[in-house]
Each structure stands twice: as C-alpha cells, then as structure tokens.
Amino acid sequence: MTTLDFNNKKHVHFIGIGGISMSGLAHILLSRGFVVSGSDSKQSELTDELEALGAKIMIGQSAANITDDIDLVVYTAAISEDNPELKAAKEAGIPMMVRADFLGALMKNYERAVCVSGTHGKTTTTSLISQILLDAETDPTISVGGILPAIGGNIRIGHSGYFLTEACEYTNSFLSFFPTMEIILNVQEDHMDFFKDLDDIRNSFKTYTRLLPDNGVLIINGEIEDLSYFTDGLSCEITTFGLHGDFDYTAKNISYNQFACAEYDLYINGAYAAHAALKLPGEHNVYNSLAAFAAAAHLGINAEKAAVSISAFTGVDRRFQLKGEVGGVTIVDDYAHHPDEIRATLKAAANYPHRKLWVVFQPHTYTRTKAFLDGFADALSLADAVVLAPIYAAREKNTLGISSENIKELIDKTGRECYCFPTFDEIENFLLENCVNGDLLITMGAGDVYIIGEKLLGK
C-alpha cells in the first residue's frame, strides 16, 4: 500500500507507537475507523490512551507482533535495521512506510494541508495558527511538536478539509509531504549530523518549495538571505513577511511591555490592518505572529479576527513557559537548543523583571554541540550565570570526544560565571544554595532539563 485513502480502511501497525508523533498519527487513523496496532518499549499515558480508543498495543517489540492481517507497517527513521518487527515485516512482504512518507500520504486526504517549516519557531507558529483556526471554528486536524493547552496535547482530530502540521527539515523528511501552503520562517544551520553545510540546507528548502502546486501558497520570511534563490521559478502565490524591508506583512509602532512581550500595528501591503498585543516575549515572536497573520488571510480569516486569537494566545509548553516561583526565584522553562534560539530567549529574558539571570543549559546531541560550540558559548554569555548539565545524547553516541566542559572553557574566557556538574542532583543543590530572592532561573534545552526546575519547585 503506497497510498492512504480514508475511504479504504486498512490495518496499520506502528513500530514505536508510544512516541509523541507516532501516537498522533495513530489517533487520526482510529478516528477514521482504521484497525490500528502498535508496539513500544514501555507502557505510557499515550499507549494507554490509544488502547482505550481501540488500538491493540504490545509492550516490547517482537517478530510475533507482525501478523498476517497487517496491511501496512509504519516506523520512524530511528528504528534500526535489526529491529525484529521491521525484519519480520520485510520477510512477510508487508508494505512499509517511514513516518515522514506516511504523514505525506495522510496529507493527500485533506483539501488544505498547511506545513510550517524553518530552523526555529515551528511549534510556536503552528500553535498560533491553530488558535486562529480553532477560534474561527474551522474544525482543523492539527499535529504540533509540543503540548498545546488549547487542544490538550499535540494532536487534534478534526473533520474538515484543514490539516495543519510542522514540517521538519531533518533527514529531509519534509520532502515527503504534499502541502498546499508552506510557511518558511527562517533557513539557518542546524542538524549538522545530517546536512553538509548551510548550502545543503538551503538546497533542501528550495526543493521543498517546489512541492507546492500551481494554486498553492508560499509564505516566507522576506529577510532570508538571497530570497530569490527560493522563489524564482515558482508558479504558486508568494507572500513575504518581515520587519526590516518592504514586505507584504510587517509590523510598525512596536513596543514591549515589562515582560518583553510586543505590541504592534499590523500592516498588509502598506495599509493598516489590525493591532496585536502578544503574550509571547521577544522579537522572534513578532516574526512568528506575522507568519500566522499571513496564513490566516490565505485561509479566509481576516486580520482583525486573527488579531484577537493571536493576542489571546499564551504559548506552548516549554516555550518560555513560566513554571512557578520558589523562595522568590522565578523559574521558566524553554526548549531552546540552538545558539540563535538561546540568543532570542535570553534577549527576551533581559526585559523580564529579575535581579540576576541564571540559565541551566543542557546541550542536545554531541554533533550539534561540536558544530555550534562557539555559538553556544557566545549566546549563553548573555546570561549573568550559566550552569551546564551533561549533553543529552538523544539518538547519538559520543564518538567526538565532546562534553559540556568544552562550552565552559569558552564561557570562562568571557569572564562570565559558569559552572558544570555531572548530575542533575548536584545542579539542584547548587541552585538551592546560590539562587536568591528576585533571581530569574531558566532551564533550557530540548532534553529533560526541565526536571531540574520542577524538582526545585517541589522542594
């Protein structure tokens, strides 16, 4: 089965069904009456929820889980070739799809498939557009890379022709999609364990824009270097946004409140259209909101209605998320794991009320740490004091001989306070002894560093 037709119900088996993305895809199929089964290494709230909805869940992966009645096996790129279920499916001749291909096949069942891409800002922008679509009662299906309170998770099952998702460039997975609208927020260096260099990344994004049909829409940050590289030769409609130049969507009269949240007048094609007062900190969220305004307009929602939704949106979990206060210390958690994201977050935090700004940073993957070593040190130096946790390995093994100590050595040269500890317990104890009333503490990274803040709040 190389296609996925909602009108032709099949039995789909997911290897690793408990993952946040895979579980969301399984949800969609269950809502459409498909037979769904899947395996995962451990039981979780996500697997329990799927089981309650009718999925057959197996804990542990075994060749015996691959039965004759399965029509399609879906797996992630992280599944190894020696996985027993993958091997059994191949031997049985059962059609298989990697997650990205499956998501692309899923999109073809929707009239409007909106894909949000870019090196940074995908989750927040997808969530902003989600809020707009929900308020406009369009009944969209939504797949977002974070926990969005408005939908109670990372997936929403709708029954209209609207499908909204993030489109990640890692391993070129977004090249498997079938979008009718693309949003490109920025194109910068990241995932250097896969891409050769920035030119390689730009080439992937250019190829991505060529997926749009003639009646499609490209919404793109007009400040991306050599913009014509991406737009020349496209037959679809092109809309630009930005702050520093002549763009279709821009913000004027920008001001920031004491919490670094922007308020501005939206101008469309040179004319005033609406006023927005963001509850999200930082200039980077002005860009994200401009992209959301442009998407709303192309989806038939006027600027004034979109402004109400955008101004009411309070954020996504792990995006400058206020976790609480303990002993007069404010604790915020943020997903930033790239130097540009760290820089944007700390610039926003500079305007947040505080005495001293502490950052607990957990680098994400060895390849990213090595590729952006100088960038991490430079960006983190915007904080008053930095505490480094061990690198979160994710899918990698440390074959590069890199560690958080390498970042500390560079920060030490700037004269900034910097500490490095091998365990979370030691970090927590250090912070309990050194953070005082009035300080702002940000736990930062794409791994499990948020646990530190939550434990401090518990203490």
pLDDT tens-digit profile of 233-280?
999 999 999 999 999 999 999 998 877 889 999 999 999 999 999 988
Q: What is the mean pLDDT of residues 310-333?
A: 84
Higher confidence at residue 349 or residue 115? 115
- Whether 2 has a pLDDT exceeding 70, the answer reads no
Q: Where in the chain are all domains bearing CATH 3.40.1190.10?
A: 110-312
- Whether 15 has a pLDDT exceeding 50, the answer reads yes
Q: Classify residue 283 as exposed, middle or buried by CB count within 10 Å of its CB (0-12, 13-18, 19+).
A: middle
Q: Which residue is it, tokens 């992937």? A: 204
Tokens of 455: 């434990």
pLDDT digit string (tens) for 23-65?
989 999 999 999 999 999 899 988 999 999 999 999 999 999 9
pLDDT digit string (tens) for 178-236?
999 999 999 988 777 778 899 999 999 999 999 999 999 999 999 999 999 999 999 99
- Whether 327 has a pLDDT exceeding 80, the answer reads yes
Spelled out in words, what is the top-level CATH class assigned to the domain 110-312? alpha beta
Higher confidence at residue 21 or residue 218? 218
So what's the pLDDT on residue 375?
92
Tokens of 273: 């259209």
Q: Where in the chain are all domains bearing CATH 3.90.190.20?
A: 321-458
So what's the pLDDT on residue 1?
43
So what's the pLDDT on residue 232?
96
Q: Please, what is the average pLDDT of the chain?
A: 92
Q: What is the pTM of this model?
A: 0.77
Tokens of 239: 């809309």
Q: Are 445 and 379 in contact (CB under 8 A)?
A: no
Q: Where in the chain are all domains bearing CATH 3.40.50.720?
A: 11-102
Bridge-based pairing of strands 141-148 and 72-75 is unpaired
- Whether 112 has a pLDDT exceeding 90, the answer reads yes
Q: What is the DSSP string of 245-309?
A: S--SEEEEEEEE-TTSEEEEEEEETTEEEEEEEEEEESTHHHHHHHHHHHHHHHTT--HHHHHHH
Tell me 390's DSSP state. Answer: P
pLDDT digit string (tens) for 409-421?
999 999 999 999 9
Q: What is the mean pLDDT of residues 145-154?
A: 76
Beta-carbon contacts of residue 232 (< 8 Å; ≥ 6 apart): none
Q: Are 176 and 103 in contact (CB under 8 A)?
A: yes
The CATH number of domain 11-102, selected from 3.10.330.20, 1.10.10.10, 3.40.50.1820, 3.40.50.720: 3.40.50.720
Helix orientation angle between 373-380 and 404-414, rounded to the nearest 10 degrees: 50
The CATH number of domain 321-458, selected from 3.90.190.20, 3.40.50.970, 3.10.20.90, 3.40.50.300: 3.90.190.20
So what's the pLDDT on residue 152?
77
Beta-carbon contacts of residue 169 (< 8 Å; ≥ 6 apart): 117, 119, 190, 191, 201, 204, 205, 208
